[in-house]
Structure 1
Amino acid sequence: MSDYQGGCAHVHTRAAAEPIDNHVCHCNVCKAVTGQQTTHVAFFNWGDLKVDHPEKLARQPFNANNPDGPLELCTCTDCGAAILLDDKQKRIRVAVPNIMGYDDAHFPQASYHAFYDDTKGYPKPSDGRPVYEGLRPEFVWPKGA
């Protein structure tokens, strides 16, 4: 059984379940938030990714162009570290292993590329993983809690 642990010195996250989606994201929102060209992103069912001190989370819109959207970037009120993306509809919680305190090498490799757009001026990924303009076609959003 897997055990994914992340967070900072003040707020810890943990999931014993596998991610329900695990991809390399090419979207503009991830680029803006992380400063990375691409971002390894893991979606967990909302109840599978636990937070030990939710009272220490500062919440801000994940997408500045959609401030009323469902995802919130949660950061530690003590140190400012990015902890997770939380879904106000309680469908998913999102871990970005390399910036949210996880051992990125412990995560399974992303299985595909999401939100690739060939108008962005960089080559289409050629690492053998499928490349999609959105999430993988068979992905189904879980029901909210």
Structure 2
Amino acid sequence: MSSYDGGCAHVHTHADHDPIDNHTCHCSVCKRVTGQPTTHVVFFKHGDLAAEGGPMKRVPFNDQNPDGPLEICICEECGTPIMLDDKQGRIRAVVPNLMGFSAEMPATYHAFYDPATGVPKPDDGRPVYEGLRPDFVWPQPS
């Protein structure tokens, strides 16, 4: 077990439990939201990642599915994205390079790779899946 810290000058996020999933995401939603060709995403059980401090604005993660389960929490003071919050209470997720995390949390696989995009299949030795890793089980809501 390790300790993970992130956030901004106004909102502090922290977890004292290891992540339950850690992947490089290739999905179109992550590309659209972050502007990155791939996105390093880390899932924590919902109750394992806490946020303290200033108020946060919540916006749908997927603007094309605004009623979906994930919301982006953004610091109201500085506009920094803080975390993704699952309205169903299963997970909270962070994008370490955008959400102030410096701890080593290397991705263990590639998720949501779609060969139809024309992007070459990753060949860095990590497994590549069309979705989340096959053994991933969504945690029960907290």
- 8 Å CA contact 1:97, 1:107 repeated in 2: no
In the alignment, residue 135 of structure 1 is paired with which amino acid? L
In the alignment, residue 119 of structure 1 is paired with which amino acid? A
Deviation at 1:109, TM superposition (A): 1.3
Give the alignment's TM-score, normalised by structure 1: 0.95
Equivalent positions of 1:77-116 (< 5 A) are 77-103=76-102, 106-116=103-113
Query: Do structure 1's residue 143 and structure 2's residue 133 form an aligned pair?
Result: no
Q: 2:121 maps to what in 1?
A: 124
Structure-2 separation of matches of 1:141 and 1:58 = 25
In the alignment, residue 34 of structure 1 is paired with which amino acid? T
Q: 1:5 maps to what in 2?
A: 5
- 8 Å CA contact 1:81, 1:100 repeated in 2: yes
In the alignment, residue 23 of structure 2 is paired with which amino acid? H
- Structure 2: which 5+ runs fail to align? none
Q: 1:60 maps to what in 2?
A: 59
In the alignment, residue 120 of structure 2 is paired with which amino acid? P
Deviation at 1:107, TM superposition (A): 2.4
Structure-2 separation of matches of 1:67 and 1:113 = 25
Aligned residues: 142
Q: 1:25 maps to what in 2?
A: 25
Structure-1 separation of matches of 2:91 and 2:23 = 14
Q: 1:72 maps to what in 2?
A: 71
C-alpha RMSD of the superposition: 0.9
Q: Any idea what SS the aligned residue of 1:31 has?
A: helix
Structure-2 separation of matches of 1:99 and 1:8 = 10
Give the alignment's TM-score, normalised by structure 2: 0.97
Structure-1 separation of matches of 2:34 and 2:65 = 17
Q: Any idea what SS the aligned residue of 2:31 has?
A: helix
Structure-1 separation of matches of 2:137 and 2:85 = 17
In the alignment, residue 112 of structure 1 is paired with which amino acid? Y
Deviation at 1:64, TM superposition (A): 0.8
- 8 Å CA contact 1:13, 1:50 repeated in 2: yes
Name the % identity: 64
Deviation at 1:87, TM superposition (A): 0.4
Structure-2 separation of matches of 1:51 and 1:107 = 20
Moved over 2 A (4+): none
